[in-house]
């Protein structure tokens, strides 16, 4: 007999599942297989978080220098904020873009290889013929990687959310703008988890890393555009009539999102977007005749006011942002659930032959 009991330090026993074939063993395996992707994600997240913390601190400092108001145009502080190409606003938009595309990178580099690389290297038979069952192997790995993704993106999302709020104080941006909307609240976490799961599912279905990664890119861009097109009307917009040239009613302050209306067109045969006191919409030609566009903007507003012209708007108030976040996050979590169900279905149907 081979002396199993003579080598206690290196021998697993049948009753010691905690250290062998358990979470610890799979934790090591997950780390060993995905360490470069995980380290890359950590480095990217650390750089992003550091950069955003720096931008937030700088913007806050300038905000205080301008007595907690927007800095006057052409002031040194405004120059520092708005300069191109490395003004703080421009840098904040770069970080915003990175936060927006981070889920794509997670899907491609962490999600896709989980199963596609095993298929490509034909190591699934090796992995699934050990004492750890395929189900345990799959769900433990997905759980560990999912936790990592959630933790890293939560850190990024927290700092990103803070930066966006500082930015709205210092600049003219608002939180309902699509890029800002995606980079705030819980959305970076939900979107990252969603694309991680989709990446795993595509890797399981296509079984090749490059085509699956390409599938993630196409799906990510397609869904991002779809959400951008659809998100303004996820809830029924509110309607309002605004007096043109009149005092600011404050309706569109605090991050409101204009869904329709608000644009004035001069000189065209079609509708101008301006309404007279009887509620009739003027054509562009009528509006140009009534209030000719001139270089003096104040004079033009005065004309609008004198003629009691109005605009009809549909908008989403900024107070709805948390609700919209919840709706979009729920959609992405639904996508996650569907992707994981597909992964489980594909794994159950995967038959492995030794030949």
Partner 1 sequence: MSEQSIAVEARDVSRRYGNVWALRECGFQLPANRIIALVGANGAGKSTLMSIIAGTLPATSGSLLVHGRPVVKGRSIDRGGSAASRVAILAQDKPLYRDFSVTDMLRFGRSMNRVWDQRRALSWLERFDIPLDRRCGKLSGGQRAQVALAVALGSRPAVLLLDEPLANLDPVARTDVTGELMAEAADSDMTVMLSTHIIAELSGVGDHLLLLDAGRPVLTGDVEELLDSHVRLTGPRADQPPGPGAIVQAQHTDRQSTFVVRQPAAPTANAVVAPGWTAQPITLDELILTYLKASAKAHHDLEAAA
> Is the peptide bond between 238 and the residue preceding it cis, with omega within 30 degrees of 0?
no
Q: Provide the minimum distance between the beta carbon of 339 and partner 1 in the complex, in angstroms, as a whole number.
A: 20
Q: List residues binding partner 1 (CB under 8 A).
A: 1-4, 6-7, 10-14, 16-17, 20-21, 24-26, 28-29, 32-33, 121-123, 125-136, 348, 351-355
Which of residues 3 and 250 has its CB atom nearest to partner 1 in the complex?
Answer: 3
Which tokens hold the place of 5?
């009991």
Q: Provide the minimum distance between the beta carbon of 125 and partner 1 in the complex, in angstroms, as a whole number.
A: 5
Q: Which residue in 48, 72, 25 sits closest to 183, CA to CA?
A: 48
Which of residues 29 and 251 has its CB atom nearest to partner 1 in the complex?
Answer: 29
Which of residues 17 and 224 has its CB atom nearest to partner 1 in the complex?
Answer: 17
Q: Provide the minimum distance between the beta carbon of 128 and partner 1 in the complex, in angstroms, as a whole number.
A: 6
DSSP per-residue letters across 56-99: HHHHHHHHHHTTTSPPPTTSHHHHHHH-TTTSHHHHHHHHHHHH
Q: Provide the minimum distance between the beta carbon of 175 and partner 1 in the complex, in angstroms, as a whole number.
A: 44
Which of residues 7 and 69 has its CB atom nearest to partner 1 in the complex?
Answer: 7
Q: Provide the minimum distance between the beta carbon of 347 and partner 1 in the complex, in angstroms, as a whole number.
A: 8
- Alpha carbons within 13 angstroms on the beta-carbon side of residue 10 total 4
Which of residues 137 and 176 has its CB atom nearest to partner 1 in the complex?
Answer: 137
Which of residues 111 and 113 has its CB atom nearest to partner 1 in the complex?
Answer: 113
Which of residues 10 and 295 has its CB atom nearest to partner 1 in the complex?
Answer: 10
Q: How far apart are CA 71 and CA 170, in angstroms?
A: 7
Q: Provide the minimum distance between the beta carbon of 40 and partner 1 in the complex, in angstroms, as a whole number.
A: 15
Q: How far apart are CA 106 and CA 4, in angstroms?
A: 43
* Residue 56 burial class via C-beta count within 10 angstroms: exposed 0-12, middle 13-18, buried 19 and up: buried
Q: Which residue in 156, 160, 163 sits closest to 58, CA to CA?
A: 163
119: Cβ contacts below 8 Å, ≥ 6 apart: 203, 207, 208
Q: Provide the minimum distance between the beta carbon of 36 and partner 1 in the complex, in angstroms, as a whole number.
A: 9
Which of residues 14 and 298 has its CB atom nearest to partner 1 in the complex?
Answer: 14
Q: How far apart are CA 261 and CA 278, in angstroms?
A: 18
Q: Provide the minimum distance between the beta carbon of 52 and partner 1 in the complex, in angstroms, as a whole number.
A: 33
Q: Provide the minimum distance between the beta carbon of 354 and partner 1 in the complex, in angstroms, as a whole number.
A: 4
Is residue 179 within 8 A of residue 227, CB to CB? The reply is no
Q: Which residue in 22, 186, 194 sits closest to 110, CA to CA?
A: 194
What residue spans of 187-283 are helical by DSSP H? 187-206, 209-230
Which tokens hold the place of 165?
């709020």
Q: Which residue in 135, 188, 139 sits closest to 159, CA to CA?
A: 188
By three-state DSSP, how is residue 132 classified? coil
């Amino acid at each position: 007999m081979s002396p199993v009991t003579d080598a206690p330090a290196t021998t697993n026993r049948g009753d010691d599942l905690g250290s062998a074939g358990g979470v610890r063993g799979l934790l090591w395996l997950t780390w060993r297989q995905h360490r470069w992707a995980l380290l890359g994600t950590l480095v990217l997240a650390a750089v992003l978080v550091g950069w955003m913390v720096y931008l937030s601190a700088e913007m806050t400092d300038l905000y205080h220098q301008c007595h907690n108001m927007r800095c006057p145009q052409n002031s040194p502080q405004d120059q520092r904020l708005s300069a191109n190409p490395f003004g703080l606003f421009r840098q904040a938009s770069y970080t915003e873009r990175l936060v927006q595309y981070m889920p794509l990178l997670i899907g491609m580099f962490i999600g896709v290889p989980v199963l596609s690389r095993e298929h490509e290297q034909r190591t699934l038979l090796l992995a699934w013929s050990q004492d750890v069952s395929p189900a345990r192997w799959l769900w433990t790995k997905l759980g560990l990687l999912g936790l990592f993704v959630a933790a890293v993106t939560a850190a990024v999302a927290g700092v990103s959310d803070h930066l966006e709020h500082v930015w709205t104080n210092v600049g003219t941006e608002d939180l309902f703008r699509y890029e800002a909307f995606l980079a705030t609240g819980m959305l970076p976490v939900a979107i990252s988890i969603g694309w991680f799961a989709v990446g795993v599912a595509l890797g399981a279905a296509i079984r090749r890393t490059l085509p699956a990664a390409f599938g993630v890119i196409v799906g990510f861009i397609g869904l991002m555009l779809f959400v951008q097109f659809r998100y303004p009307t996820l809830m029924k917009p509110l309607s309002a009539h605004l007096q043109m040239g009149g005092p600011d009613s404050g309706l569109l302050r605090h991050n409101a999102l204009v869904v329709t209306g608000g644009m004035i067109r001069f000189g065209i045969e079609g509708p101008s977007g301006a309404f007279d006191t009887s509620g009739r919409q003027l054509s562009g030609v009528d509006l140009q005749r009534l209030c000719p566009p001139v270089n003096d903007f104040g004079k033009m507003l005065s004309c609008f006011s004198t003629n009691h012209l109005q605009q009809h708007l549909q908008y989403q108030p900024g107070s709805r942002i948390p609700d919209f976040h919840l709706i979009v996050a729920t959609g992405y979590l639904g996508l996650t659930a569907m992707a994981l169900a597909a992964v489980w279905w594909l794994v159950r149907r995967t038959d492995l032959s030794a030949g």
